Amino acid sequence: MGFKKDFVWGAATASYQIEGAAFEGEKGLNVWDVCCMQPGFVKDGDTGNVACDHYHRFKEDVAIMKKMGLKAYRFSISWSRVLPEGVGKVNEEGLDFYDKLVDELVAAGIEPYVTLFHWDYPDALFRKGSWLNPDSPKWFAEYAKVIVDRLSDRVTHWMTINEPQCYINLGYGEGTHAPGLKLNRGYVLQAAHNTLLAHGMAVQVIRKYSKKPCEIGVALVGGIAIPETDTEADYNAARSYMFDIKSDNMMWSDAFWMDPIYLGKYPENAIKFNEKWWPKMGQDDLKIINQPLDFFGMNSYHDVTVRAGKDGGVEVVKKKPGYARTAMHWAVTPEILHYGPKFFYERYKLPILVTENGLSNTDTIFLDGKVHDNYRIDFLNKYLLEYKKAADEGVDLKGYLQWSFLDNFEWAEGYNERFGLVYVDYPTGERTMKDSAYWYADVIKTNGENL
C-alpha cells in the first residue's frame, strides 16, 4: 500500500527557536526572552536573541525548502511579536513578517501549516497570571482571531498549541523551561486545564472566521509504548500502558491531555488521584475543549518497551546495555512510528499527521565543505519504514513533518543540539544543506518509494 498519493511531506520549526530579532520591530518580550536573561537558565548562556536570524533570512530559507521539494512547512507564530502586550493593540510590523512569509511559501508551492503557540508566552500576560488566570483562554482566542483575520485567505492548515505536556510540566511544574516555575500540583493542573480550554476556544475562532475551508489539529507529544514481542498479550499491554493514568507521573500521561480534546472527558483515574487538587472548571468547559478536529498531530521522540505481566499486569522492560541513542541520549526506537499511529488511530479515529520527528546529531562541516550526516539518514529511513508499515496495516496517515528544517536554539540546551536537515553556522548565519536534506528530497520526490 505505502503512502497515499496526497501524503504531505514537510518539515517544521518554531518561532523562538529560529527567528531571532528578539528586540526588533516593536516585538514584546516573551517568557523565553526573560528566562534567557537569567544566568544559568540556558546552557552556555545561549539566548534566542539572534538564533538562525530567520526573521531577516526567511526568503533564503524558503528557497532552500523549495530546493528540497518540501510540500509543507510547519512554523509557529510569536504571540508577542504580533501582540506585544498579549492582547489589545496589534503590532503591524510583526504581523507583516508572517504575511510576507506566507506569501513567500505560497509562491514557492509550499503549503503553510501554522501553529499558533509554541511555548513563547507573552511576558506581559505572564505578569497577569499566565495560564493560571481564568481569562487566559480568552486572551488566546483574541490572539487567534488576529492571526486568522490576516492569514486565513492563504493558510488552510492550523494547529492551536504545541506540546502542552512540555510547556506546562517543564515550565510550571519542574522549572527547567520558561517561565521557570515550580508550582504545586493544584496550580499545574489549573494551568493545564486553562491551556486545553484555550485550545478549544481557538478552534472555535478558526472555524468561525477562516476565510477558506480549513483543517485544524493540535500537536501533542505522544509517549509511545512498544510491545516487547508481537504477541497479542504484549500488544494489548502496550496499548493499555499508553493510555493508563500513572499516579506518580500523571501529567505526562497521554490520556490526561488527549481524552479531553478528542473524547470530551478527563480520565476517571486522573480525577480520582487528584481530588484535592482538581481545578475549577466551568459547566461547558469540556464541551469547548472537545471541538471537532481534522487530524491527529503527533510529535514523537520517546518510547517505553513493555510486556504482559503476571495476573494481567504490565511490566516495563529495561533497555539492553549499550542501546542505540541520539546525541541527546534519547533511545533510537523506530517502532514508535508503527505502534504510536496504530494506537492513536484506534482510540481517536483521526488521520495521523506526524508533526515532529527527528534527532539531534553531532553534525559538523567536513573538509570538503559538506555535512555528512549518515546517522540521521539511517535514523529517518528506519523510522519512515515503520511509519509506512502502519499505512500498510490500514492506518490513515496524512503526512510527515520532520523536525527540524534548520539547526536551532534547543531551549534549555541552547545551541548544543543540532536537529536540522540544514546546518546553521550561528556566528555567520550561513546555511548548508546536509546530506540528509538531499536524501529527504529524494524521499519526497518518490513519495517514500525509495525507502
Active-site positions read 163, 356
CB neighbourhood size of 429 (10 A): 16
Task: Read off the DSSP letter of residue 43.
Answer: G
Q: Tell me the C-alpha distance between 264 and 257, whole Å.
A: 11
Distances 433 to 101, 346, 356, 359 between C-alpha atoms, Å: 20, 38, 19, 16
Residue 319 amino acid letter: K
Contact by Cβ (8 Å): 199, 289: yes
Cross-strand pairs, 425:
430
At a CB cut-off of 8 Å and minimum separation 6, what does 280 contact?
A: 134, 190
Q: Tell me the C-alpha distance between 305 and 316, whole Å.
A: 6
**Dihedral sign (CA 307, 249, 121, 158):** positive
Query: Which residue has 549518515 as its cell numbers?
Result: 374
Q: Tell me the Ramachandran region of residue 213: left when phi exceeds 0, alpha when psi lies from -120 to 50, beta otherwise.
A: beta
Q: Please give the helix or strand (H or E) that residue 271 lies within, else none.
A: helix 268-273
Helical pair 232-242 and 336-348, crossing angle rounded to 10 deg: 70
Residue 301 amino acid letter: Y
